[in-house]
Copies of this chain bind each other. A is one copy, B any other.
């Protein structure tokens, strides 16, 4: 009942009446083996149900067939979509992904990096917990020195000695704000925070940029509501603050630094019987699946999530396959504004 003793390449060799080297050749470079022999070996493999032991192969070859993906939160749809992109690219190349969840905790991140190093992964795709300000953090640096390739995910590498794949957050903010301005909104609230998150800052800068483009002053047309986190609860609170202000000075549109905030704002507004988009327009960021699924479908800035993952994986494989000619690249994707009902009405046309 307990597992049958594992079948090794040696058993296959015996069964097929050839040497182990030949079996290995059938597996790895079938073209050098005579057709008749190959057929015989394949038959033996299938009769015995032989499955190669990857540990042995890896040991001999010196490198593994896997790569690590370290994200901040598995439960975040953003990262699962990125993961799908990674999976797609690696699947094509016959590689496996070890999916790790740092949960934003540096200790967990470290533990996973250790594990990945023990696994001798070909490389690591990572959204680091601590944004590497000046080049890489020590830990990642050490990894690289050991021959583990590193690609930053959703983070822009400031140094050119490292591949990175990110999205232009400034542009995203600008797109969203231009849309609201064009719809006629002149009092807009920006909801997001903490403001020292690079992504929040960049999106805000884009907003300011859009105002400038239209010759509108920041002080007069923009109100910034800082939140303690990018969560639904924080959005709900922000909505309360917005509704709390007298109607005359109240923003006619809200742009949130991510969709969770926007969903929270929507919930808060709904609770206070403020209608979206009739009374207040709403724009989110990320275009997670639930943005389109909201009670009022949410306008949002879409990031090419799957492409992010796929490109990151491709860069890594590229470097792995030809380390000598590899030039590190910093790929920056452009986000796209998806207009839906939550902002699709000219400002000030509240239908009673």
Which among A4, A58, A83, A145 has the greatest number of chain B C-beta atoms within 10 A? A58
- Alpha-carbon distance between A96 and B114 when the two chains are bound, in angstroms: 11
Counted per complex, copies of this chain come to 2
Contact A232:B53 (CB < 8 A) given known A4-B145, A147-B3, A323-B2:
no
- Alpha-carbon distance between A107 and B32 when the two chains are bound, in angstroms: 29
Q: Let me know if A142 is at the binding interface, CB within 8 A.
A: yes
Chain A 25-54 per-residue mask, 1 if CB under 8 angstroms from chain B, else 0: 000000000000000000000000101111
Task: Flag the segment in A126-134, A167-175, A246-254, A264-272 that touches B.
Answer: A264-272
- Alpha-carbon distance between A289 and B147 when the two chains are bound, in angstroms: 40
Q: Let me know if A322 is at the binding interface, CB within 8 A.
A: no
CB neighbours of A111 from chain B (8 A): 91
Q: Let me know if A117 is at the binding interface, CB within 8 A.
A: yes
CB neighbours of A14 from chain B (8 A): none
How many A residues, CB 8 Å from partner?
60
CB neighbours of A227 from chain B (8 A): none
CB neighbours of A142 from chain B (8 A): 49
- Alpha-carbon distance between A194 and B292 when the two chains are bound, in angstroms: 23
Contact of A260 among B74, B115, B293, B323 (CB under 8 A): B293
Chain A 51-87 per-residue mask, 1 if CB under 8 angstroms from chain B, else 0: 1111110110010101000000011010011011001
- Alpha-carbon distance between A77 and B81 when the two chains are bound, in angstroms: 12
Contact A115:B98 (CB < 8 A) given known A6-B146, A55-B64, A84-B75:
no
CB neighbours of A108 from chain B (8 A): 91
User: In whole Å, how far is A111's beta carbon from the nearest beta carbon of chain B?
Assistant: 8
Q: Let me know if A24 is at the binding interface, CB within 8 A.
A: no
| Interface positions of A from 276 to 297, Cβ below 8 Å from B | 289-290, 292-297
User: In whole Å, how far is A325's beta carbon from the nearest beta carbon of chain B?
Assistant: 13
**Besides A3-B146, A49-B142, A75-B77, 12 new A-B residue pairs in contact (Cβ under 8 A), listed by A number:** A4-B145, A49-B146, A51-B117, A51-B118, A54-B120, A55-B56, A55-B119, A75-B81, A80-B80, A97-B99, A232-B289, A267-B297
What are 17 of the A-B contact pairs (CB < 8 Å)? A3-B148, A6-B147, A54-B119, A55-B64, A56-B59, A66-B98, A74-B87, A75-B81, A80-B80, A91-B108, A97-B99, A232-B289, A260-B293, A263-B290, A264-B293, A266-B295, A267-B296
- For the complex of A and B, 10 pairs with smallest distance between CB atoms: A3-B147, A295-B295, A99-B99, A55-B58, A54-B118, A232-B293, A270-B295, A55-B59, A55-B55, A75-B80
